[in-house]
């Protein structure tokens, strides 16, 4: 088994095929989209492949250490940040091929006009623990 | 076996151990072990005296756990002691535990976790699941909390307001996980109300019951949030509403108003209205004025602006909103609602979309996105309007 992070971006991913902002969809299309996402996660729980899923607020803050005895420096949020993560799902699957297959299904979530969004998702393998048998 | 009934014995049993001289942290561990044992043994072999059984088993667990020589000497003294009994002291024990677990030296998250375990009798795993953190993290949080209060004397009452804040936090945490935290908060607040005569404890209990009563109406068939005005009132729990209103009325006649009674009064006015249109908004505004006086909270002023919008029209609501800082959470959502009622759909749609971006949870974000989409769909159907679309 290997873990993969499926990353969804607010910004920074190539444009989706069906790229319409959600507030311009029909309300029932939003409902259908949310149901698709919930059903997808529920299905992966049943197959024993779901680990975690979280959504992130669009705005964050940059923080860095500023030396002994000083409070951390904060900056942002920056409107021009190129890459903005919207959320993730962590899956634990038998193969890279399975991870790709699942990301493909997630990208087919319905959007405007009830048609698949064809959204680009980023699939990132976790760095695993070293194996016990190495030779 | 009724697990809630079993857990309701937790504070009394813990109180007995502490009164016999066990230190709080060790006694609490021993009571947890006794609860686990009860869940295992009782279904096949229910005891005639459940509390007596728990005290005996917990005390044995406590003795087993204290092995060092010095402790053994002390323990031999302790074994000789009979617990000081009597129902009056049991009530006092329970009350002291509430104060201890909500002690001001604890952070809110620690106080919540300790209250759920030491008074609620929940296991660390159940609490961890309810708050979506790893069990080891929750175990550390609880043991640190126990260390923090280990030096606190057990014989002095504390401030009821700190206990109420902790119970309010538990209730407000929502309905995720396999433990129903809202129901648990109600159970713990009922238990507290039985132990102490205080109008604000009654006020909080009434507030919880009145909100809990609306729970079935709050979520639609598609799992989305349903706003108060659109809820199917037939799905509200009339029994809980009647109980909440009764408790609130008994508290209010004592003329010691506090913020929880005022909040409960607002919830009761909503519950009383047969339809959304029949809501007594004028009285609700008056209660918000009381709340502003009691708390001076900007969040209360924001909610007051909504009520003013209903009582005196959207323009009045927008005027009340204009005095508030627009960085307040949910400010954009309130502004969107008032703009829509005022007929400015273009601005309302833009504000709903902005509110969705700032929403603190997914359910609200989905709801606000749908509101924006609903208005945009209406605007687009009306034909091209240069102000309604961007890009």
B350 vs chain A: nearest CA distance in angstroms?
Answer: 9
Distance (Å, whole) CA A82 – CA B241: 51
- What's the token pair of residue A44? 């992966």
- What's the token pair of residue B303? 């909610």
In the structure, what pLDDT confidence band is assigned to residue A52 with cuts at 50, 70 and 90? very high
| Start-to-end Cα distance in chain A | 20
User: Cα–Cα distances in Å, from A29 out to A37, A80, A114, B37, B227?
Assistant: 13, 29, 6, 51, 19
Long-range Cβ contacts of A124-132 (<8 Å, 24+ apart): A124/A4, A124/A5, A124/A7, A125/A2, A125/A3, A125/A4, A125/A5, A125/A96, A125/A99, A126/A2, A126/A3, A126/A4, A126/A5, A126/A90, A128/A2, A128/A3
- What is the three-class DSSP state of B220? coil
- Higher-confidence position of A130 and B187: B187
- Residue B177: its pLDDT value, please? 60
Contacting residues of A for B356, CB less than 8 Å apart: 23
Decide if B357 touches A, using CB distance below 8 A. Answer: yes
User: Cα–Cα distances in Å, from B140 out to A79, B96, B136, B179?
Assistant: 39, 23, 6, 20
Query: Which conformational region is residue A23 in: left (phi greater than 0), alpha (psi within -120 to 50 degrees), or beta?
Result: alpha
The answer to whether the CB of B143 falls within 8 A of the CB of B28 is: no
User: From the CB of residue A50, how many other CB atoms can be counted at a distance below 10 Å?
Assistant: 18
pLDDT along chain B (391 residues), means of 10: 84 90 92 94 92 95 77 58 53 88 94 96 92 93 94 77 95 73 94 94 98 92 88 96 98 97 98 96 98 95 97 97 94 97 97 94 93 95 58 40
Asked if the Cβ–Cβ distance from A24 to B352 is below 8 Å, we say no
- Residue B389: its pLDDT value, please? 44
Decide if B222 touches A, using CB distance below 8 A. Answer: yes
Q: What angle do CA B293, B296, B300 make, to 5 degrees?
A: 95
Contacting residues of B for A22, CB less than 8 Å apart: 369, 373
Asked if the Cβ–Cβ distance from B357 to A58 is below 8 Å, we say yes
Among B370, B380, B389, beta carbon nearest to A30: B370
Side-chain half-sphere exposure of A69, counting CA atoms within 13 A? 0
Backbone angles phi, psi at A13, to 5 degrees: -85, 155
Among A23, A38, A57, beta carbon nearest to B373: A23
Asked if the Cβ–Cβ distance from A25 to B373 is below 8 Å, we say yes
ipTM of predicted assembly, 2 dp: 0.87
- Residue B68: its pLDDT value, please? 56
Instruction: Give start and end residues of each alpha helix (H) in B173-297.
Output: 181-195, 199-213, 215-218, 238-252, 259-272, 281-295
User: Cα–Cα distances in Å, from B216 out to B76, B219, B224, B240?
Assistant: 54, 6, 12, 12
Tell me the domains of chain A and their CATH numbers: 2-125 (3.30.70.1060)
Contacting residues of A for B222, CB less than 8 Å apart: 31, 34-35
Burial B366-388 (b: 16+ CB within 10 A, else e): bbbbbbbbbbbbebeeeeeeeeb
Contacting residues of A for B224, CB less than 8 Å apart: 31, 34
Contacting residues of A for B362, CB less than 8 Å apart: 55
A34 vs chain B: nearest CA distance in angstroms?
Answer: 8
Distance (Å, whole) CA B119 – CA B10: 6
Contacting residues of A for B372, CB less than 8 Å apart: 23
Distance (Å, whole) CA B140 – CA B117: 13
Distance (Å, whole) CA A21 – CA A30: 11
Distance (Å, whole) CA B205 – CA B58: 31
Query: Which conformational region is residue B347 in: left (phi greater than 0), alpha (psi within -120 to 50 degrees), or beta?
Result: alpha
Residue A78, pLDDT > 80, answer no
A90 vs chain B: nearest CA distance in angstroms?
Answer: 15
Residue A127, pLDDT > 80, answer yes
Give the pairing of strands A73-75 and A84-93.
Answer: unpaired
- Higher-confidence position of B22 and A109: A109
Residue of B220, B330, B333, B373 to mutate for A, most A C-beta atoms under 10 A: B373
Q: Which of B247, B248, B207, B197 is nearest to B95 (CA)?
A: B197
Q: Which of B149, B172, B171, B32 is nearest to B102 (CA)?
A: B149
Burial B1-22 (b: 16+ CB within 10 A, else e): eeeeebbbbbbbbbbbbbbbeb
- Residue B385: its pLDDT value, please? 53
Distance (Å, whole) CA B201 – CA B258: 10
Percent of chain A with pLDDT over 90: 78
Return the bridge partners of B219, or none: B225
Distance (Å, whole) CA B79 – CA B84: 13
Residue with tokens 């708050």: B131
Decide if B362 touches A, using CB distance below 8 A. Answer: yes
Residue of B365, B369, B390 to mutate for A, most A C-beta atoms under 10 A: B369
């Amino acid at each position: 088994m290997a873990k993969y992070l499926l990353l969804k971006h607010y910004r920074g991913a190539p444009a989706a095929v069906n790229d319409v902002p959600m507030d311009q969809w029909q309300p029932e299309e939003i409902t259908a989209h949310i149901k698709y996402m919930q059903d997808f996660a529920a299905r992966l729980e049943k197959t024993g492949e779901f680990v975690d899923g979280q959504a992130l607020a669009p705005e964050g803050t940059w923080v860095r250490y500023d030396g002994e005895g000083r409070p951390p420096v904060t900056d942002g949020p920056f409107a021009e940040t190129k890459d903005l993560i919207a959320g993730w799902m962590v899956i634990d699957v038998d193969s890279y091929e399975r991870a790709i297959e699942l990301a493909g299904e997630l990208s087919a979530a319905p959007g405007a006009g009830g048609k698949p969004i064809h959204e680009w998702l980023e699939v990132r393998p976790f760095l695993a623990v070293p194996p016990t048998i190495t030779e | 076996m009724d697990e809630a009934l079993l857990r309701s014995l937790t504070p009394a049993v813990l109180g007995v151990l502490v009164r016999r001289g066990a230190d709080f942290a060790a006694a609490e561990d021993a009571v947890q072990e006794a609860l686990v044992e009860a869940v295992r043994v009782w279904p096949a072999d229910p005891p005639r005296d459940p509390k007596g059984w728990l005290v005996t088993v917990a005390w044995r667990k406590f003795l087993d756990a204290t092995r060092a020589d010095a402790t053994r000497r002390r323990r031999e003294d302790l074994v000789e002691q009979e617990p000081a009994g009597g129902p009056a002291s049991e009530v006092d024990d329970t009350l002291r535990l509430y104060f201890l677990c909500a002690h001001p030296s604890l952070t809110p998250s620690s106080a919540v976790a300790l209250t759920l375990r030491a008074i609620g009798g929940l296991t660390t795993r159940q609490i961890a699941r309810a708050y979506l953190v790893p069990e080891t993290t929750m175990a550390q949080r609880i043991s640190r909390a126990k260390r923090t209060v280990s030096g606190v004397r057990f014989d002095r009452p504390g401030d009821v307001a700190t206990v109420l804040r902790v119970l309010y936090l538990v209730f407000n945490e929502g309905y995720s996980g396999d433990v129903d935290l809202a129901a648990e908060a109600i159970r713990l607040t009922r238990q507290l109300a039985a132990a102490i005569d205080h109008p604000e404890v009654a006020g909080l209990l009434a507030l919880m019951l009145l909100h809990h009563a609306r729970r079935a109406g709050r979520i639609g068939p598609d799992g989305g949030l349903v706003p108060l005005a659109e809820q199917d009132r037939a799905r509200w729990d009339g029994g809980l509403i009647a109980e909440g209103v009764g408790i609130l009325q008994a508290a209010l006649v004592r003329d010691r108003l506090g913020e929880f009674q005022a909040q409960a009064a607002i919830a009761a006015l909503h519950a009383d209205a047969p339809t959304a249109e029949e809501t007594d908004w004028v009285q609700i505004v008056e209660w918000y004025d009381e709340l502003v006086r009691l708390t001076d909270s900007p969040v209360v002023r924001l909610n007051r602006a909504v009520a003013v919008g209903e009582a005196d029209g959207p323009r009045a609501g927008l005027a009340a909103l204009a005095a508030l800082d627009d960085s307040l959470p949910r400010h954009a959502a309130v502004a969107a609602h008032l703009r829509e009622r005022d007929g400015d759909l273009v601005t309302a749609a833009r504000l709903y979309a902005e509110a969705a971006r700032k929403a603190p949870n997914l359910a609200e974000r989905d709801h606000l996105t749908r509101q924006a989409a609903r208005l945009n769909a209406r605007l687009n159907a009306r034909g091209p309007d240069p102000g309604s679309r961007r890009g």
